[in-house]
Amino acid sequence: MEQTVKILVVDDDEVDRMAVRDALVKAGVHMELSEVSDGNDAFSALSTATFDCVFLDYHLLAQDGLTLLQQLRSSEIKVPLVVLTGEGDEQNAVQLIKAGATDYLSKSRISPENLVQVLWSAIRVYQAEVQVALANEQLRESHEELIRKNQELERQQQQIQMQNFKLLEASRLKSHFLATMSHELRTPMSAIIGFSQVLLRPKFGQLTHQQTDMVERILNNGKHLLMLLNEVLDFSKLEAGRLYFKTEIFDVSKVINLTVAEMRSLADAKNLPLLVQNDLQNALVFNDPVRIKQVLINLLSNAIKFTESGEIWVEVKELPANRVAIIVRDTGIGIAPRDFKRIFEAFRQVDQTITRKYPGTGLGLAIIDSLVRMMGGKIFLESKVGIGSMFKIELPRQITLSTVAANAPPFQLDGDEILYSAQNPHQSSSQAKSAPIGYPKFKL
Ligand code: ADP
């Protein structure tokens, strides 16, 4: 063995100490050997220096081995320790091992081979114990770290829940505010529009050319503002799940023609031909005509707004599976594919800058997207920047219970046919009761 080991022999018998020393020398152990004859000296030696191994006589005169072991343990002095026992002491040696000794060897078996074997084995066992203790300590620390992190995660989760709750509350308040404000603003706006219309009638006196021009501007701006207010109001109702459908059977071609006629002046103002192609065989649908009109107005006003030259087309046609398509095409600025999804989100516009060329709330497509979904329909968009856009709405001819029921529960079930009408949220319950119930049975 090349390694020098520091060994302490604790024995009150000079002859026994010599036997250990001789055996170690004979075994060729490279060592620094210290010898003491009682427990007190052993304790002070171990307190002041480190040893690789201690050979301890079980029977010390002043103090037995067990007391020394306890003393070492309470002072947290750790060292590989081999107890040397006399005849019949084996039982006590087991006790000492329980108290912290590494191994024991009967004095009668002391020989160079046995001693060197027990020496290295004690050192190895001790080193293994140290490593296990170290690993345990590291495990304990990681366990504590995990508990700390877990607590931190729980705390963060609670904070997120709290923030979520606050956000939901803020969003609810925002929707409420939007709904109240737009509703309140509509009343004076209706008065402005109404009185401007009255002023333009000749029976209330002739206005000068300049005055007519000014009143017309008030009227047009009032109408535009009312449309914006209606968009905000619809959006907040949709968000709150309180936008109701008033369903009926009607001629969709008539609604489309009327809407196109209303929008024609806007297209004319930009010199844009507004063409309609209607290929419907059966024009009857079961839906809410006001909402169908709203969808078309939105698509048409966008088409007109975003087109500087060319044409606008409206096409209506039958689709398989009893569905109907309403298509609006334009030759306008077009939309890049990366914006296809985004423009259907509320307040999203391709140009989000304050100085943008085209005005608007950014709510139109979000609203019609929700409306079309509620009708059980789909919107398809095809567009090329600089070439134009095509918005295609596919709708079931008859909107179904599941789509409408989300808005207003059916109030009459008639055999196989489900007849229902949505209630106006602003209608009082007595008015609602007196409203006509259901529709004549009609095959669509
Ligand atoms: P708004 O028209 O009030 O800005 P919309 O929700 O109706 O809001 O439309 C969102 C955005 O989608 C528009 O700002 C525009 O960038 C784009 N967009 C909609 N329709 C068209 C169209 N026909 N041509 C080009 N861009 C369009």
Question: Is 441 a residue whose pLDDT tops 80?
Answer: no
Q: How far apart are CA 210 and CA 231, in angstroms?
A: 32
Query: What's the CATH code of the domain at 93?
Result: 3.40.50.2300
The pLDDT assigned to 206 comes to: 85
pLDDT at residue 14 in the model? 92
Q: Confirm whether 397 is domain-assigned.
A: yes
Span 334-353, pLDDT tens digits: 999 999 998 998 877 777 66
Per-residue confidence (pLDDT) for residue 66, from 0 to 100: 80
CA distance 435 to 245: 14
Ligand 1 atom, smallest distance to 366 CA: 6
Q: Is residue 234, in this structure, part of any structural domain at all?
A: no
CATH code of the domain containing 307: 3.30.565.10
The answer to whether residue 3 scores a pLDDT higher than 90 is no
Which residue among 232, 266, 335, 372 has the greatest number of ligand 1 atoms within 8 angstroms of its CB, and so is best to mutate? Answer: 335
How many H helices and E strands in the chain? Answer: 11, 14
Asked if residues 4 and 30 have their Cβ atoms less than 8 Å apart, the reply is yes
Going from the Cα of 297 to the center of ligand 1, the distance in angstroms, rounded, reads: 13
Centroid of ligand 1 to alpha carbon of 335 (angstroms):
9
Q: What per-residue confidence (pLDDT) applies to 426?
A: 27
User: What is the edge-to-edge ordering of all strands in the sheet holding 312-319?
Assistant: 274-278, 312-319, 323-330, 388-396, 378-384
362 CA to centre of ligand 1 in angstroms:
7
Q: Give, for ligand 1, the residue of 306, 307, 312, 313 to mutate: max count of ligand atoms closer than 8 Å to Cβ.
A: 306
DSSP string of 320-366?
TTTEEEEEEEE-SS---GGGTTGGGSTT--S--STT-SS---S-HHH
Q: pLDDT tens-digit profile of 280-334?
A: 999 999 999 999 999 999 999 999 999 999 999 999 999 999 999 999 999 999 9
CB within 6 Å of ligand 1 — which residues? Answer: 302-303, 306, 330, 332-333, 335, 343, 349-350, 360-366, 389
Residues 6+ apart with CB under 8 A from 58: 64, 65, 83, 84, 85, 86, 89, 92, 93, 96, 104
Residue after which a domain boundary falls, among 80, 110, 140: 110
Whether residue 280 contacts residue 253, with contact meaning beta carbons closer than 8 Å, is answered with yes
Mean pLDDT of the chain: 84
Domain end, chosen from 110, 136, 161, is at: 110
Residue ranges making up the domain that contains 356: 241-434
Nearest-atom number in ligand 1 for the CA of 298 is 7
Q: Which residues of 326-335 are buried (b: 16+ CB within 10 A; e: fewer)?
A: bbbbbbbbbb
376 CA distance to ligand 1 middle (Å): 23
352 domain-assigned: yes
Q: What is the pLDDT of residue 438?
A: 30
Ligand 1 atom closest to the Cα of residue 361 is 3
Q: Which residues pair with 394 in a beta bridge?
A: 325, 378
Length of the chain: 444
Q: Tell me: do 102 and 250 sit in the same domain.
A: no
As a whole number of angstroms, the distance between CA 303 and CA 331 comes to: 8
424: in domain: yes
Asked if 404 contacts 243 with a C-beta cutoff of 8 angstroms, the reply is no
Domain count, the chain: 2
Q: Which residues contact 177 (CB under 8 A, 6 or more apart)?
A: none
pTM of the model: 0.58
Residue from 229, 307, 349, 387 to probe ligand 1 pocket by mutation (most atoms less than 8 Å from CB) = 349
